[in-house]
Chain A
Amino acid sequence: MTVADFLMLDLPPLLAAILAGGTCGLLGSFLVLRRESLVGDALSHAVLPGIVLGFAVTGARAGLPMLAGAMLAGLLAVALIGLVQRATRLDAGATIGAVFTTFFACGLVLLEVTGARSVDLDLDCVLFGQLETLVWTEGRSAAALLDPAALASLPRQLSLLSGVALAVSLAVAAFWRPLKLICFDPAYAAALGLPGRSLELGLALMVAAAAVAAFEAVGSILVVAMLVCPAAALRLMTDRYTTQVLGGAALGAGLGAVGYLLAGPLPAAMGLTLSLNAAGVIGTLGGLLVATAALMRRAPRVRANAVA
């Protein structure tokens, strides 16, 4: 594998996997701490109709209309979940399940009827993401990394992903303490007069945006692996909030990178003809991560209980 090969074929998907994994890993901790992991799953599915409509409007797989459509669909889903819950008194799990599968199915129908279905957006990329399609045609040598003209030809998805990652990071930093409080004790946050409801909505919007980002990398189905697995694994490893949240981002980024590299480039570099689907590898690694954390935690816990 040459430098040019790496820059043209592997750098864009690697960056995309890292950005998507990092953004999802950062937000995942809030979902896991609020015991709302299912909401992450629901939102990542519910944004599909918005993504498809945004795509149908612009005909391009990147860009703000797709992001806007996804966030709108996410908001609608959250509102509908609340509405159904109040109207029917079903438990949260049942309502969430009913709403997000409906949204996802609508997304699949829209995919067929709007003509959005094309080489750029089809069932495959809904299922598996499209990391492999990200190519940097101008990345012919290391010098291109410093050449603004060449950098401008990086896939547009990367600028969308970077924008989402930046916005989410800034929001998490700016609302650090209120976010912590609505994760631990939302009623107390409300009693203190903090804008808990708006923050919860903001969190849902950020998850919807991150779901679009991760949609690029791993597809709609496996977004939840990126959202939940790094955070869940860390939940078993640390008692410190800062480590949990920032570590979730780092672990998510690492999961994306390692997952992508294991899927194709590494086996290729070792001369193997084996080539795996990146989304599948990332999802599998995520599961292994949680399992390892659980096993590592188990041993000392049992001893501590025995002493007590």
Chain B
Amino acid sequence: MSAPEPLSVTHLTVAYGERPAVWDVTWSAPPGLTAIVGPNGAGKSTLLKATLGLVPALSGTVRFFGRPLEEVRDRVGYLPQRASVDWDFPASALDVVCMARYPRMRWWGPVPRRHREAAREALVQVGMADFADRQIGKLSGGQQQRVFLARALAQDADLVLMDEPFAAVDAATEAAIVTVLRNLAARGRHVVAVHHDLGTVPEYFSHVLLLNARVFAAGPVKDVFTPENIGATYGARLALLEEARVGASAAGGG
């Protein structure tokens, strides 16, 4: 039997109040780089958070590498949305990256040297070595995103769950993130990322989950990332968009 999937969810349902955000999702992320794609409010981030137990699930089971999260927590890394924290917080970039190693050190006293070195190494990987001692509020949005990425890397996890890693970043940051993703894949690590830019899915990821509360399609990008599946996932809105585009090109051509 082959190794268990990095992440698999069975009949997962999450609701905020009466409105279901994730509806009966049964899906597993294969090894490698996987994108979760869907319209705004499709429950992409909610699905990610529910797998980590950050929002309560109404029903369903979640397994990482075939086991419950508690047993394999050190194998699962997390990159939250940049907007989820207060960047005015009194901490340097290095401080933030060191947080990834908190479970491996005492709860008081100075950060041990080897963990600090690991954090610096993670900052090097995202091209932020020169900003280690800068207060995080004095970094640009893209640099902040790279600090969060470095923190996820410093966890040294086998699977990293990323919530919108490419949201509102500059070109340099986007390139840095892509390099990191490819390095992770080359080292046999796995990534599941919520992604909003349909255009870059085939370039950055090998597998995709098309989600709009429920699963619309899942599998290798080349097989399931088709206009029909995307249209079905995004519903009428994208269809309208598509018509508008066709109309515009027809007008431009005429």
Contact = CB atoms under 8 A, between A and B. Distances in A.
Interface of A: 33, 35, 89, 173-178, 180-181, 183-185, 187-188, 190-194, 235, 238-241, 243-244
Interface string B135-179: 101000000000000010001000000000000000000000000
A184 B107 contact: no
Contacts of A187: 49, 54, 80, 84
Interface string B68-96: 00100100101010001110011100011
Tell me if A's interface is mostly helix, strand, loop or mixed: helix
10 tightest CB-CB pairs across the interface, nearest first?
A: A191-B78, A239-B135, A176-B108, A193-B73, A241-B90, A185-B85, A191-B52, A184-B89, A244-B90, A239-B90
B84 A185 contact: yes
A89 B89 contact: no
Given A184-B85, A188-B78, A174 B90 contact: no
Nearest to A175: B107
B17 interface: yes
8 contacts: A174-B107, A174-B108, A177-B105, A185-B85, A187-B80, A191-B52, A192-B73, A192-B102
Contacts, number: 75
Contacts of A240: 90
Contacts of A188: 78, 80, 99, 151
Nearest to B96: A184
B73 A35 contact: no
Interface string B96-132: 1001101101111100000000000000000000000
Interface centre among B73, B85, B86, B102 (most CB of A within 10 A): B102
Nearest to B99: A181
B172 to A, nearest CB: 19
Contact of A190 (B52, B86, B99, B135): B52
A90 to B, nearest CB: 13
Among B70, B90, B100, B135, residue most surrounded by chain A Cβ atoms (within 10 Å): B90
B247 interface: no
Contacts of A175: 107-108
Nearest to B95: A241
Nearest to B70: A193
A190 B90 contact: no
A181 B91 contact: no
A141 B187 CA distance: 75
B99 A184 contact: yes
Interface in B1-43: 17
A192 B74 CA distance: 8
Contacts of B54: 187, 190-191
A176 B84 contact: no
Contacts of B137: 239
Contacts of B52: 190-191
Nearest to B108: A176
B84 A238 contact: no
